[in-house]
Amino acid sequence: MTPQERMLHTQRATALLQSAWQEGRIAHAYCFHGPHGSGKQALSMLFAASVNCENIASNKGLWPCGECKSCKQARSLQHPNITYVFPTPAPKSGTNQSTMLSGLTDIQVENIRNEMHKKGQDPFYHMSIDGARAIRVASIRAAKRGASMSASQSGRRFLLVFEADKMNQEAANAFLKTLEEPGAELTIILTTARKDMMLDTIMSRCQQVQLHPFDEEQIAAYMQHTQQIDEERATFIARLSKGSISQATALLDEDVNGLREEALNWMRQCLRPRSYAPEVTKLNELFGRQRDVARTKNLLALLQVWLRDALIIQQEGNRDHVVNIDQEQALERFVGAFGQANFSEAIRVIDEAVDYLNGNVQIAVALTRLAIRLRRVFFAQTREQ
Ligand SMILES: [Zn+2]
């Protein structure tokens, strides 16, 4: 079994699907929903691969053998019974649009193939396809045609739709028709981190399966095992990931120490007793110009970890739980300067800023608002004294 499969078995959803299969009641349509990085796409792939594995009986659970022809096809995303639909770039106008890839440039097709290859190697990998904003109706139609052909291989057909909330209206309508006339041996799995964006007419026809964020300990063990990093770095990254396996993987490529330095500099400028605004405004505009929401969220996650450490020191808790242990003296100075501050409230206020960013508020606007709120949290006590 792969490390990814082992991780997925910590999700309650996996046990739920396993018993549905054992009892011979696999639904025609599912919607897997849950936060980013909770393994929704990976679980849909695992389910489809298990049900199609040649060496598996349903009583063995969702552990495909990984050796048979069917498993190999599934792992390379080439299984004739498993069709994938996900957002792709808009095609050149006027071109024939018979498949998901038609009308795209060679470079775009190459980009998609590369991303699919990475996804096959690591089901937790988050595919990043340039210019992919919507699931096109051509993709749905092509998938429907594929699903209605008689199976060339025994097993069960699956249609996996990633980021299903990105179906445009036309695609959603075409898809609804598919849901109304499901083939006996076809199971459709939609995955989405934005359940609120899904049409009710679609959701009401699917069995809903919720996934939850992973535990920090699970992520740390997984990162250590799969990425050959030491325990300290794995724990640090796991704390920053907030239960998201894709966030943890993204942080691997980030210069975490450099980013932490930037984050702390930003907070120091915010918390200057006087004339903080010009310097903070300059920094906010700089982050805004970078247009990198993922990086900004990492930066805020680093601030939260710093504040959590400060809280431990403030409350004289167990220092084994301090993440930024390499910065212990700086942390002590920070707590010395703001020892009366409500660090939990500051952490909560940063959560709100992340929500704003998720709702597509501009980076500079979200950070400016956060700066004002943080000052209120940090200086409230001082004023009262
Ligand atoms: Zn197999």
Cα of 310 vs centre of ligand 1, distance in Å, is: 50
Q: Report the alpha-carbon distance of residue 219 to residue 378 in Å, rounded.
A: 32
Cα of 372 vs centre of ligand 1, distance in Å, is: 56
Cα of 72 vs centre of ligand 1, distance in Å, is: 7
Cα of 85 vs centre of ligand 1, distance in Å, is: 23
Cα of 62 vs centre of ligand 1, distance in Å, is: 11
Contacts for 173 with CB less than 8 Å, ≥ 6 apart:
137
In this prediction, the residues of the chain whose per-residue pLDDT falls under 50 are 383-385
Cα of 41 vs centre of ligand 1, distance in Å, is: 19
Cα of 370 vs centre of ligand 1, distance in Å, is: 51
How much is the pLDDT for 39?
97
Q: Report the alpha-carbon distance of residue 160 to residue 140 in Å, rounded.
A: 11
How much is the pLDDT for 385?
39
Cα of 215 vs centre of ligand 1, distance in Å, is: 29
The secondary structure element, H or E, covering residue 18 is helix 12-22
How much is the pLDDT for 58?
67
Cα of 188 vs centre of ligand 1, distance in Å, is: 21
User: pLDDT tens-digit profile of 74-107?
Assistant: 999 999 999 999 999 888 876 677 788 888 999 9
Cα of 1 vs centre of ligand 1, distance in Å, is: 11
Q: Report the alpha-carbon distance of residue 282 to residue 265 in Å, rounded.
A: 12
Cα of 21 vs centre of ligand 1, distance in Å, is: 16
Nearest-CA neighbor of 30 among 182, 246, 233? 182
User: pLDDT tens-digit profile of 285-317?
Assistant: 888 888 788 889 889 989 999 999 999 999 988
Contacts for 364 with CB less than 8 Å, ≥ 6 apart:
284, 285, 287, 288
Which residues neighbour ligand 1 (ion) by CB within 5 Å? 53, 55, 64-65, 68, 71
Q: Is 11 left (phi over 0), alpha (psi -120 to 50) or beta?
A: beta
Cα of 55 vs centre of ligand 1, distance in Å, is: 5
Contacts for 255 with CB less than 8 Å, ≥ 6 apart:
none
DSSP lists the bridge partners of residue 187 as 158
How much is the pLDDT for 251?
86
Q: Report the alpha-carbon distance of residue 115 to residue 252 in Å, rounded.
A: 18
The DSSP code for 150 is: P
DSSP lists the bridge partners of residue 207 as 30
Cα of 15 vs centre of ligand 1, distance in Å, is: 19
Cα of 40 vs centre of ligand 1, distance in Å, is: 21
Cα of 51 vs centre of ligand 1, distance in Å, is: 9
Residue tagged 């440039």 (tokens): 105
Phi, psi (5° rounding) for residue 33? -130, 155
Cα dihedral sign, 73-74-78-81: positive
Cα of 53 vs centre of ligand 1, distance in Å, is: 4
Cα of 5 vs centre of ligand 1, distance in Å, is: 14
Cα of 147 vs centre of ligand 1, distance in Å, is: 22
How much is the pLDDT for 183?
64
Residue tagged 């792969």 (tokens): 2
Q: What is the DSSP string of 304-351?
A: HHHHHHHHHHHTT--GGG-S-GGGHHHHHHHHHHSTTS-HHHHHHHHH
Tokens of 70: 């069917």
Cα of 128 vs centre of ligand 1, distance in Å, is: 28
Q: Report the alpha-carbon distance of residue 360 to residue 77 in Å, rounded.
A: 32
Cα of 224 vs centre of ligand 1, distance in Å, is: 27
Nearest-CA neighbor of 37 among 207, 198, 215? 215
Residue tagged 């975490």 (tokens): 256
* Burial status of residue 303 (CB atoms within 10 A of its CB: 0-12, 13-18, 19 or more): buried
Q: What angle do CA 150, 151, 157 make, to 5 degrees?
A: 115
Cα dihedral sign, 37-40-41-46: positive
